[in-house]
Structure 1
Amino acid sequence: MIASYFHGLSAILIQQTQFPVSIPANWLSADDLTVSDPYLKNWLLDTGSLTERLQSHCADFKLELIGQRQMQPELEELTQLRSGSLLVNDTQWQVREVILCGNGQPWVFARSILPQQLCEMDLVELGNQPLGKIIFNDSRFVRSPFQLLKLPDTRHFSDLLAISAQRPLWGRRSVFDFKQLQLMVAEIFLPDCPAYSKQG
């Protein structure tokens, strides 16, 4: 009953959220940002499937799609991709934003920058499937080192959360090579994410 209530609440919040939400551009190399909590650090630098790890912490896992469409990524995002130095337009990319929910609670906000060419081929049936489910079952996707992000509070994501929290939010992102293409996946751990469960 409670899980059903929160799931309905998260769906309402997502419907009210303006797409794209985006992410503040304060990313640093994982070597340049200290993560004092070893449990959180393990989550941030885990190269396995985040989707599968989240699923292991809940009885009910769902992906809520905020939005996906052809559009121009942020300039800062493009500079992290091989094509960042080239002239690009919004028909070459799709931006996809989702919420990963465990037991009806929003746990992770994810933003992906996907080449249109890849969306028309291997990701054409993506829909409400977690992107990670595809990436981590296909050895052709090769991940680059992580960048990390620390946000002082939840204000940027307030429209996604039923209750605002004061704790800093942490995130990670990396670029994946796929043949001659690249895509980027960024994930922000929201306040109720199990990654914070060892914190007071």
Structure 2
Amino acid sequence: MVSSGPGSDPRWRPLAAARPAMSPEWWQWVASRDSLTARLISAGGHRHFRVRLLNQRLGRPRRDETLALGLPLAHHAWLREVALCLDERPWVVARSVVPLDGLHGQRLDRLGERSLGSWLFRQPDLERGPLEVSADSAPFHTDSGPWARRSLFRHRRFAVLVQEFFLDRMAGDLGLPSR
């Protein structure tokens, strides 16, 4: 479960706590619990959707990710960073973190430029934990954005922390307010 108790990162807060600061237009995007990939494709209309793989490797998660996953601080994980693009323009950047002992034979390194959500949302027993929200921009990407969200997904014994950072470009292309 994503941590929101003592020791958690203050940049991330429960979804309900962000509601007063968020416009109704952004709330529809940030609070949705369905597939963000599917929502982006729908919102993009005739634009071409693409997942651009930015980075994929074994490494140490950031401290806030380690706390959210309940891992020891020196624990390694599978890290994946992608840009979700419409007509080659990034609208969202995402970072996924999977503890190595939680992979259980899943070959996520073979996803390439397919979205993790395209696999996750096909799992009949998928459980999604509570959403947390941040107003910070992606720490691994140069573009900023108004909002970010994250939640923990579980599929049997597999767990992945998915963090999605909405970019200013998306707001501009869709005519959304800056916050």
Shorter-chain TM band: 0.7 to 0.9
Structure 1 residues 155 and 76: alpha-carbon distance in aligned structure 2, compared to 1, 3 A threshold: closer
Q: Secondary structure at the match of 1:198?
A: coil
> Following superposition of structure 1 onto structure 2, how do residues 47-126 of structure 1 map, counting pairs within 5 Å?
47-58=33-44, 59-81=47-69, 83-84=70-71, 86=72, 89-90=75-76, 93-116=77-100, 117-118=102-103, 120-121=105-106, 123-126=108-111
Alignment check: 8 A CA contact 1:173 1:184 kept: yes
Report the 3-state secondary structure (helix = DSSP H, G, I; strand = E; otherwise coil) of the residue aligned with 1:40.
helix
The higher radius of gyration belongs to 1
**Secondary structure of the equivalent of 1:77?**
helix
Compared with structure 1, are the counterparts of its residues 155 and 66 closer, same or farther at alpha carbon in structure 2 (3 Å cutoff)?
closer
1:32 and 2:23 aligned: no
Identity %: 29
| 1:154-193 equivalence runs, <5 A | 159=142, 161=143, 169-193=146-170
Which amino acid is 1:148 matched to? V
Aligned-residue offset at 1:104 = 1.9
8 Å contact from structure 2 (residues 85, 92) kept in 1: yes
Contact 2:79/2:98 (8 A) holds in 1: yes
- State the one-letter code of the partner of 1:193: M
**C-alpha contact (below 8 Å) 1:40/1:196 kept by paired residues:** no
- Alpha-carbon distance, 1:124 to partner: 4.9
Give the whole-Å Cα distance in 1 for the aligned partners of 2:140 and 2:59: 21
Compute the displacement of 1:103 (Å).
Answer: 1.6
Query: CA contact under 8 A between 1:149 and 1:171: conserved in structure 2?
Result: yes
Stretches of structure 2 that go unaligned for 5 or more consecutive residues are 1-8
Superposed CA offset, 1:134-170 (max 9, x none):
111112321001000113xx696773x4xxx7xx620
CA contact (8 A) 1:68 1:97 kept: yes
Q: 1:129 aligns to what?
A: 114
Q: What is the CA-CA distance between 1:128 and the residue it aligns to?
A: 1.2
In the comparison of the two structures, how many residue pairs are matched? 165
Is the 1:25–1:76 Cα contact (8 Å) retained in structure 2?
Answer: no
Q: CA deviation at 1:197?
A: 2.4
State the Cα deviation string for residues 3-62 of structure 1 (Å, max 9, x = none): xxxxxxxxxxxxxxxxxxxxx971111122233311110100101110011111222011
Alignment check: 8 A CA contact 1:113 1:183 kept: yes
Across the aligned residues of Structure 1 and Structure 2, the Cα RMSD in angstroms comes to 2.6
Partner of 1:10: none
